[in-house]
Structure 1
C-alpha cells in the first residue's frame, strides 16, 4: 500500500493497477484516491464497467481513445472475474495500454496463478488489501476519536476492539456512532462502548461455544436461533464455529507447550485480553476433544456441501458434539 501512496503523492502512475482483498474499506478508499488523483472530477475521460462477461472490444476501444482535453484517461473495471481465468485477449489488452490511459481493476478475489494476475503484475501493480494488525487498528481508532476531541480509557478501547472486530468499515461506523453519543463528555468509558456498539457475529459465536462448554446447551441453541433470525447464513455460522474451535486448539497446544500469553497473542495476532478469554474456554477441553470438534465441523460442512444435510441441523449437531465433548480416537 505504500507504493500506492507514493504514486499518488508523486502524481506518477502505473498503466494498470489491481486492487483486491478482504479489507473492502481499504479497497474502496484506494480506488477513490487513485481515481481522484488520476483524473480529478473529470467524467469526460472516465469509462466504468462492472460485472462479468464484459465485451473486450468495447473496453479496448475505451483504452485506446485519446483523452479529451486532458493528459490522462481512466478505465475502471470492477468485479469482472477476469483474474480467475486465462483469457489471452484481456492479457494482450493489458500489455498494450498506451501511456495516455490508466486501467484500474477492482476485484473481490483473484487467482495469483492466473494469466491476468501475472500480466498486471508484470505491467503495473497488484495491491492486496488485508485487515490491518491490532496495533494499526488501535492507532487508527485513537486517531479517529482524537479528531472528535475524545479520549478513550484502556478498558473502553479493549471492549471496542473486541466488539468491532477487524473490518475497518464496521470499525468506522461504530466509531462514528460512539463519538456522536459521547460528544460533550470528558471521554469514552467501557459503559459507553457496551451501551452503543453492536456485537459482532464472532463474539456471539464465542458466547455460543462458551455456553455449550459450560453445559448450557439450551441457551446456546437460543443464541443460534437469534443468529438465524438476523439472517446469518447457516454455513457462515458453521465456518465461524470451526474457526473458533481451531483457535481454541491452537491456544491449548501453545499453553501445553509452555508459551506465555504474550507469545500466544503474537502468534494469533490478538490482544492479550482476548488470549485470556480463549485460554479460559480452552481449559475446559482436552487437546483430543478440541481436535475431534474441529474434525466434526469439517465433516458436517462437507455433508452440507454435498446436499446430504440441512445447514441448521449441521450447526445443531456441532453444538451438541461440543457439549458432549465427543472424542473419537
Structure 2
C-alpha cells in the first residue's frame, strides 16, 4: 500500500491500479481514497462499473473521452471477473489508453497468470488487501480509539478483538459503537466492551462448546435457541460447530507434539490472541472425544442432506448427544 499512499501524497498517478484480496474494508477504503485524490467530487469525469454485465467496448469508448475541464478522468471497475477470465482486449487497450484516463479495478479474487493482471502490474500497481495479522489489527484499532481521544489497555483490546473477530468492517463498526457508548470518558474499560460489543456468531459457538465440555446441556441448548432467535440457519450453526471441533482437534494434536503458540496460530489459521482460548478449551476434551464429535457432526449433516432429519431438530439432537459423552 506504500505505493498508493505515495501516489496520493504526490498527486502523480499510474494509468491503472488493482485492489484485490479478501479484506473488503481495505479494498473499499483505498478505492475511496484514490477516487477522492484523483477526481474528488467531480461526477462528470468519473464512471463506475460494477458486476459483469457491461460492455468492454463501452468502457474503452469512455476511456477515450478527454476529461471535461479537468486534469484526469477516472473509471472504476468493481467485481468484474476480468482477472479470472480471458481479458486480452482490455489488456491490450491499456497500452494505448490516453494519459488523461486512469483505470481502477477492485476485485476479491484474481488469477496472477491473467494477461490483464500482468499488464496492470507492468503499467501501474496491484495491491493485495489481505486479512490483517493480530498485531496489525491491534495497532489499527488502538489508533482509531486514539484519534477519538480514547485509551485502552492491551488486555481490554484483546477482549474486544475476541468478540469482534478479525473482519475490519466489523471492528470499525464496533469501535464507533464503543466510542459513542463511553461518551466523555477517556479510558475504555472491559465492562464497556462486555456491555456494548456484539459477540460474533463464532464466539457464541465457542460458548456453546464450552457448555458441552462442562456437561451443561441446558445451557448449550439455550445458546442454540438464542442463535435460532437471531435467525441463524441451523445448517450454518452445524457447520460452525463441526469447524470448531475440528479446530480444537488440530490444536490438541499440535500441542501434544510440542508445537508453540505462534506455529499453532499459523498452521490453524488462528489469530495469535485466540490460540490461548483454543488451547484451554481443547484441554477439556480427550483427542478421542474430539474425533468422535467431528464424526457425529459430519454424520448429522449427511442425515439432513438425505432428508432423514429436519435441520433444526438434527442440531438439537446432536447437542444432546454431545452432552451425554
TM-score (norm 2): 0.85
2:243 aligns to what SS in structure 1? helix
Could you list the per-position Cα deviations for residues 46-101 of structure 1 after superposition, in whole angstroms to 9, with x for gaps in the alignment? 11112222112111101111222222111111222333322443443445433221
Aligned alpha-carbon RMSD (Å): 3.0
Residue 324 to residue 95, structure 1, CA distance change in 2 (3 Å):
farther
Q: Distance in 1 between matches of 2:135 and 2:183?
A: 25
Matches within 5 A, 1:1-40: 1-40=1-40
Residue 24 to residue 63, structure 1, CA distance change in 2 (3 Å):
same
Per the alignment, residue 271 of structure 2 pairs with 270
1:47 aligns to what SS in structure 2? strand
Moved more, 3-12 or 212-221: 212-221
Q: Distance in 2 between matches of 1:112 and 1:236?
A: 32
1:240 is displaced (CA, Å) by 2.8
Q: Distance in 1 between matches of 2:303 and 2:122?
A: 42
1:143 is displaced (CA, Å) by 1.8
Q: Distance in 2 between matches of 1:13 and 1:304?
A: 54
1:318 is displaced (CA, Å) by 5.6
Q: Distance in 1 between matches of 2:302 and 2:34?
A: 42
Alignment size in residue pairs: 324
Per the alignment, residue 109 of structure 1 pairs with 109
Q: Check the 8 A contact 1:15/1:101 in 2, yes or no.
A: yes
Could you list the per-position Cα deviations for residues 170-196 of structure 1 after superposition, in whole angstroms to 9, with x for gaps in the alignment? 112211221222223252211111111
Per the alignment, residue 140 of structure 1 pairs with 140
Residue 34 to residue 208, structure 1, CA distance change in 2 (3 Å):
same
Structure 1 unaligned runs (5+)? none
Per the alignment, residue 188 of structure 2 pairs with 188
Could you list the per-position Cα deviations for residues 88-118 of structure 1 after superposition, in whole angstroms to 9, with x for gaps in the alignment? 4344344543322111112233344544434
Structure 2 unaligned runs (5+)? none
Residue 5 to residue 276, structure 1, CA distance change in 2 (3 Å):
same
Q: Check the 8 A contact 1:81/1:107 in 2, yes or no.
A: yes
Per the alignment, residue 127 of structure 2 pairs with 127
Per the alignment, residue 69 of structure 1 pairs with 69
Per the alignment, residue 151 of structure 1 pairs with 151
Q: Check the 8 A contact 1:47/1:74 in 2, yes or no.
A: yes
Q: Check the 8 A contact 1:210/1:281 in 2, yes or no.
A: yes
Q: Check the 8 A contact 1:47/1:75 in 2, yes or no.
A: yes
Per the alignment, residue 166 of structure 1 pairs with 166
Residue 255 to residue 39, structure 1, CA distance change in 2 (3 Å):
same
Q: Distance in 1 between matches of 2:310 and 2:90?
A: 41
Q: Distance in 2 between matches of 1:233 and 1:2?
A: 41
Q: Distance in 2 between matches of 1:58 and 1:46?
A: 14
